[in-house]
Amino acid sequence: MKKVKAGVIGVRGFTGEVLAGILLNHPNTELVYVTSRVDKPVPLSEIFPYLEKKTRLLCEPFDIQKAVKCDILFLSLPHTVSMEFVPLLLKAGKKAIDLSADYRIKDMNTYYKHYKKQHTDTKNIAKAVYGLCEVYKSKIRNAKLVDPPGCYPTAVLLAVLPLFKENLIKDNTLYIDGKSGISGAGRKAKIEYHFAELQNNAFAYKAFAHQHVPEISQAIKDYAKVGPNIVFCPHVIPAARGILVTVYGQLKKNTDVQGVFKRFYKNKFFVRLRNRLVSLKDTSFTNFCDIGIKQHNKNIIITASIDNLMKGAAGQAVQNMNIMEGFNESQGLV
Ligand SMILES: NC(=O)c1ccc[n+]([C@@H]2O[C@H](COP(=O)([O-])OP(=O)(O)OC[C@H]3O[C@@H](n4cnc5c(N)ncnc54)[C@H](OP(=O)(O)O)[C@@H]3O)[C@@H](O)[C@H]2O)c1
């Protein structure tokens, strides 16, 4: 059986940890290289004790001479950091899947506005394929560099693309409420993320300012050729993981929305259409996106649930790898 040699850069973070777990269990991969900003090599099982007896792999500081033993590398790094690593990997002829937003946004003014840094690897942006597997599978198949959508954009796009593709939305306007568990913010410490602060609390943030709105609009324009008006407000809720989005809008004319979604997601393994509104727990620890639709005449409410660390990050990254390497799309993910 073909085995691909895989590496994870930034393994100590939330998405890196989940990636390591998936890749250690994946029948077609051998996890051969993991990195973090450690002072000296340290067993991965010392960082994550539950991996003892599962792997003897060392977590090391990044070194391109060592990274080249991999066929494919996953970058679990913050935005503005990945772009320092990706050119080195591509130059060495390696495939790369970047979980940061560094290669998602095509307009550099928009990138600068939201990420507060000039992009330093603009020449590779055009090569990057947006890794929304349900939509861009044929492009992903031949890609050397894939940048899967962020966690909110994954849930939102899967919930709205069928509507825009069929040009069904009045004024191309949708109102979207996003709710995320706290692991969406990464492993870093911040007062409002502490257990005692977040327990029994929830807060809205970044209204009209969230970096995922231009990403969502760019993807809708690219795929459905429609300029959308997306009114989005994210919220942090007292959960460790999971994303739930609720989309509100009006149809141009009365349409069977359930039927539209059924046709759109026919044979798309990781999207499950429910006959009810969905919850976080429907998709916890899985790579599925569950969608629930309610319609009252021309008014629609669409709900979508994903696990942010799986379908919203590490799981979707491995789904992309499966497509790039010609494996079954669900290999290692169910
Ligand atoms: N969390 C989610 O739900 C989610 C979903 C979709 C996409 N993403 C994206 O995926 C990426 C990783 O997210 P995460 O949640 O795993 O973040 P995280 O938990 O904060 O982990 C980030 C990793 O990058 C390393 N790192 C930080 N700054 C670095 C630098 N300057 N140079 C080298 N390494 C550095 C970290 O530190 P050490 O080297 O000290 O270990 C850590 O290993 C981010 O771009 C994020 O936006 C996250």
151 lines ligand 1 (CB under 6 A): yes
Determine the Cα–Cα distance for residues 168 and 162; give it in Å rounded to an integer.
9
Q: pLDDT of 246-256, one tens digit each?
A: 999 999 999 99
Q: Which of 59, 133, 151, 289 is labelled catalytic? A: 151
> Residue 100 is which amino acid?
S
Q: Whose CA is nearest to atom 46 of ligand 1?
A: 100
For 268-305, letters b (16+ CB in 10 Å) and e give: bbbbbbeeebbebebbbebbbbbbbbeeeeeebebbbb
Mean pLDDT of 228-241: 98
Choose one of 37, 103, 154, 289 to mutate for the ligand 1 pocket test, by most ligand atoms within 8 angstroms of C-beta: 37
Task: Calculate what percentage of the chain has a pLDDT beyond 90.
Answer: 98
pLDDT tops 90 at residue 7 = yes
Any atom of ligand 1 within 6 Å of the Cβ of 303: no
pLDDT tens by residue, 202-228: 999 999 999 999 999 999 999 999 999
Question: Would residue 151 show up in a list of annotated catalytic residues for this protein?
Answer: yes
Q: Which residues of 175-186 are buried (b: 16+ CB within 10 A; e: fewer)?
A: ebbbbbbbbbee
